[in-house]
Amino acid sequence: MNYSLEAGGKRIRPALVLTAAHAINGSADAWKSAMRIACAVEYIHTYSLIHDDLPAMDNDDYRRGKLTNHKVFGEAMAILAGDALLTHAFRLIPQAVREDGVPLDAGLAIVEDLATYAGAAGMVGGQAADMQGEQGITTIEQLEYIHLHKTSDLIVFSVKAGARIGGASVKQLELLSLYARNIGLAFQIQDDILDVIGDEKKLGKRTNSDVAQQKVTYPFLVGMEESIAMVSRLTQEAKDAVTEAGLASPEQLLRIADYLVQRDH
Amino acid sequence: MNYSLEAGGKRIRPALVLTAAHAINGSADAWKSAMRIACAVEYIHTYSLIHDDLPAMDNDDYRRGKLTNHKVFGEAMAILAGDALLTHAFRLIPQAVREDGVPLDAGLAIVEDLATYAGAAGMVGGQAADMQGEQGITTIEQLEYIHLHKTSDLIVFSVKAGARIGGASVKQLELLSLYARNIGLAFQIQDDILDVIGDEKKLGKRTNSDVAQQKVTYPFLVGMEESIAMVSRLTQEAKDAVTEAGLASPEQLLRIADYLVQRDH
């Protein structure tokens, strides 16, 4: 469990939990009561990577420059480490209520959101569709379904959870969900774009690997020009939603939207 | 997910959730508000069976007379079905608060209990110890550790969850935890005993399979006579704890303790 948690990564999801709590609440230490929930979402993300890397799934030997979990500990332990990380994420939520001042009703709403966005109708559903659809994806709708669930859902959870802890209104939760959905999708399309036009040194991996693996991507389906336009449209809509939400401190959320699409690795 | 949920089994864990709620509360429809939590524990149990049966784990082709999940749907889908069942169990708890009248604080305590008893310090920990310990188990303490976590922990969760819904006191929760711990352990020892002296027709599987697979069991470690004495001692202690708890309707809990050890399959 620790090996994979400590393997690094961008930590986008926990950063979004903390940032959303701060954006709603405005006070400098609003992130403190959101820290345990930020960890919970990283636990979920980490479990999903461990299971995705298994031989029966994507069969990857390396992740973030380190051997994947099952290459070090064996398949049985990797499956169990994933199961335990997934389970432990839910343990952190009642602890956040007891220890960090997260309100009881927000805690239970966060449990339900996490189970919804991470489960069969969310992230796991997206992964299952991806597994079943390999080679068979022919429409932009199918590809969008996979990315909305496989990637965006956990990002939506992160932003909503932080917003709930910060005390968001129903309207603010809706607008921030739209923000999160859009940056999640833009993030994924940008990944596809970088695989074609990125700098191998900055990416730390070979470009054109999607083409080599015959993966269906946005540039493949709609062309490079339209893919770049989509990223910019989705990002603008995301930022508009944040502005409309009338938050106490919207700056960091706006900056993250720009960072995700302006990154070159 | 449905294939494995509908494969049958004794449904001991959900029965214990409903029975504990009734035992504490005493009213004839006390089980109604516990039904969703009873389903949650069966989801957890079912996910654990799907993952345990995988080739990397116990590599079983049959379970309850049907092909195992991965033999029908492939390994990738079996891993994901397990992940989704585990996640969905947690989704049922906030729903039980919203729809079934489970109090908010009991709901959050049940989330924490489930994550604790099913996670790294509970069921998954027991399974990991079992995997790592194969062939290397030499003491009764090691064997007990595995069974307490692999089997008893989810039974303790079931009884505690039902008791919380029924409105149990702290003292009653403690006594019922002892009851559940003991019947879980007795259940496991009885399984070992039946593997040696049971009737193959009633069991629906070959006897002496543990010996053939060189599994370390209670009869192997302490002998048949002492194993039988342990079952009877654990069962009596379990029943004493129920009696001491001063429940409104203890009869069914007492009957389940007897059923588990008097069963011949």
Please give the residue of chain A at the shortest CA–CA distance from B120. A84
Q: What is the mean pLDDT of each run of 10 residues along chain B (265 residues)?
A: 93 97 91 96 98 96 93 98 98 97 96 98 96 79 93 97 97 98 95 83 67 80 94 97 97 94 76
> Among A235, A138, A134, which Cα is nearest to A184's?
A235
Q: Of the ranges A64-68, A83-87, B16-20, B134-138, which one carries the lowest mean pLDDT score?
A: B134-138
At A140, which CATH number?
1.10.600.10
Tokens representing B48 are 């654990």
Residue B66 buriedness (CB in 10 A; 0-12 / 13-18 / 19+): middle
What distance in Å separates the CA atoms of residue A102 and residue A31, rounded to the nearest whole number? 11
- Cβ pair A104:B105 closer than 8 A: yes
Residue with tokens 């049940």: B110
**How many structural domains comprise chain B?**
1
- Cβ pair B82:A77 closer than 8 A: no
Model confidence band, residue A201 (pLDDT cutoffs 50, 70, 90): low
Q: What angle do CA A211, A214, A215 make, to 5 degrees?
A: 90
ipTM score of the complex? 0.94
Burial A179-196 (b: 16+ CB within 10 A, else e): bbbbbbbbbbbbbbbbbb
What distance in Å separates the CA atoms of residue A135 and residue B76, rounded to the nearest whole number? 16
Tokens representing B33 are 């508000």
B17 to each of A166, B49, B182, how far by Cα in Å? 35, 19, 16
Task: Report whether pLDDT(A5) > 70.
Answer: yes
DSSP assignment letter at A58: T
pLDDT for the residue numbered B30:
85
Nearest to A79 among B1, B56, B118 (CB): B56
Tokens representing A86 are 């997934």
For residue A16, the enclosing domain spans 2-262
Longest CA–CA span in chain B (Å) reads: 51
Question: In chain B, which residues touch A (CB < 8 A)?
Answer: 1, 47, 51, 54, 56-57, 74-77, 79-80, 82-84, 86-91, 93-95, 97, 104-105, 107-109, 111-112, 114-116, 118-120, 124-125, 127-128, 131-132
Give bridge partners of residue A66 from the DSSP assignment.
A63
pLDDT for the residue numbered A184:
96
Helix axes B251-262, B12-25, angle to 10 degrees: 150
Which residues of chain B make contact with A57, given a CB cutoff of 8 A? 76, 79
What distance in Å separates the CA atoms of residue B116 and residue A145, rounded to the nearest whole number? 33
What is the share, in percent, of chain A residues with pLDDT greater than 70?
A: 94
Identity of residue A226:
E
pLDDT for the residue numbered B186:
95
Please give the residue of chain B at the shortest CA–CA distance from A57. B76
Q: Contact A24/A163 with Cβ under 8 angstroms? A: yes
Task: Report whether pLDDT(A147) > 90.
Answer: yes
Identity of residue A56:
A
What is the share, in percent, of chain A residues with pLDDT greater than 90?
A: 78
pLDDT for the residue numbered A105:
95
Q: What is the mean pLDDT of residues A229-258?
A: 96
Of A65 and A158, the structure prediction assigns the larger pLDDT to A158
Return the SS3 of A155.
helix
Q: Residue A66 — φ and ψ, nearest 5°?
A: -115, 160
Model confidence band, residue A205 (pLDDT cutoffs 50, 70, 90): low
Give bridge partners of residue A62 from the DSSP assignment.
A67
pLDDT tens profile A111-136: 999 999 999 999 999 999 998 887 67
What distance in Å separates the CA atoms of residue B43 and residue B37, rounded to the nearest whole number? 10
Task: Report whether pLDDT(A93) > 70.
Answer: yes
Q: Of the ranges A94-98, A210-214, A237-241, B71-75, which one carries the lowest mean pLDDT score?
A: A210-214
pLDDT for the residue numbered B135:
63
Identity of residue A100:
D
DSSP assignment letter at B205: S
- Cβ pair A120:B51 closer than 8 A: no
Tokens representing B92 are 């049922």
CB pairs under 8 A between A and B: 125
> Among B104, B56, B94, B73, which Cα is nearest to B1's?
B73
What distance in Å separates the CA atoms of residue A60 and residue A74, rounded to the nearest whole number? 13
Model confidence band, residue A204 (pLDDT cutoffs 50, 70, 90): low
pLDDT for the residue numbered A114:
98
Residue with tokens 């729903």: B95
What distance in Å separates the CA atoms of residue B48 and residue B138, rounded to the nearest whole number? 26
Q: Contact A172/A224 with Cβ under 8 angstroms? A: no
What distance in Å separates the CA atoms of residue B190 and residue B87, rounded to the nearest whole number? 31
Alpha-helix residue ranges (DSSP H) falling in A101-152:
104-118, 123-133, 140-147
pLDDT for the residue numbered A197:
86
A110 to each of A97, A160, B46, how far by Cα in Å? 11, 8, 24
Q: What angle do CA A17, A20, A25 make, to 5 degrees?
A: 125
pLDDT tens profile A161-186: 999 999 999 999 999 999 999 999 99
